[in-house]
Amino acid sequence: MYFPYIRGRQFDLLALRDLVEKNLLHDHIVPIIEPVSLSSTLVSTITQFNARKHPLAIIRNPEVGSFSEEFGAFDGATGNVSRKQDFAAEMLQPFMLQALIMNNDLPGVLSAVTESGIVKQDLVVVLNDRDMLKPYQSLFAPDAPRFTVIPDEGVFRRNITTNKVLLTDSFQRQERNADYSQKEDEFFSDAHLYYRSEGYVGFADYSIIGDSYNAAGFAPYAVAIHIVYPAIDKSLRVRHFVSDSNQDINNPAQKFYQALKKMVEWYENERVVPLTLGLKILLDHYQAQTYPGLGSLKKLTIMHHLELMGKLLDGGLFV
CB within 8 A of 168, min separation 6: which ones?
A: 151, 152, 189, 191, 203, 204, 205
Residue percentage of the chain with pLDDT more than 90: 78
pLDDT at 223: 96
**Range in 65-69, 122-126, 227-231, 238-242 with the lowest mean pLDDT:** 65-69
CB within 8 A of 51, min separation 6: which ones?
A: none
pLDDT at 114 over 50: yes
Q: Which amino acid is at 255?
A: K
pLDDT at 59 over 60: yes
Counted residue by residue, the chain has a size of 319
Q: How far is CA 238 from CA 139, 306, 308, 318, in A?
A: 39, 13, 12, 16
Question: For residues 312 and 1, is the Cβ–Cβ distance under 8 A?
Answer: no
Q: What value does the mean pLDDT of the chain take?
A: 92
For the segment 130-147, what is each residue's pLDDT rounded down to a tens digit?
A: 999 999 999 888 889 999
Q: Which is more confident, 216 or 141?
A: 141
Helix axes 10-21, 40-51, angle to 10 degrees: 20
pLDDT at 127 over 60: yes
pLDDT at 318: 74
pLDDT at 71 over 70: yes
Q: What is the pTM of this model?
A: 0.94
CB within 8 A of 194, min separation 6: which ones?
A: none
Q: What is the mean pLDDT of residues 261-282?
A: 96
Residue 20: phi, psi to the nearest 5? Answer: -70, -35
Q: What is the mean pLDDT of residues 278-298?
A: 96
Q: How far is CA 282 from CA 178, 241, 259, in A?
A: 20, 13, 11
HSE value, Cβ hemisphere, 13 Å, CA-based, for 212: 7
For the segment 195-213, what is each residue's pLDDT rounded down to a tens digit?
A: 999 999 999 999 999 887 7
Distance of alpha carbon 298 from alpha carbon 238, whole angstroms: 15
pLDDT at 216: 63
Q: What is the mean pLDDT of residues 226-232?
A: 96
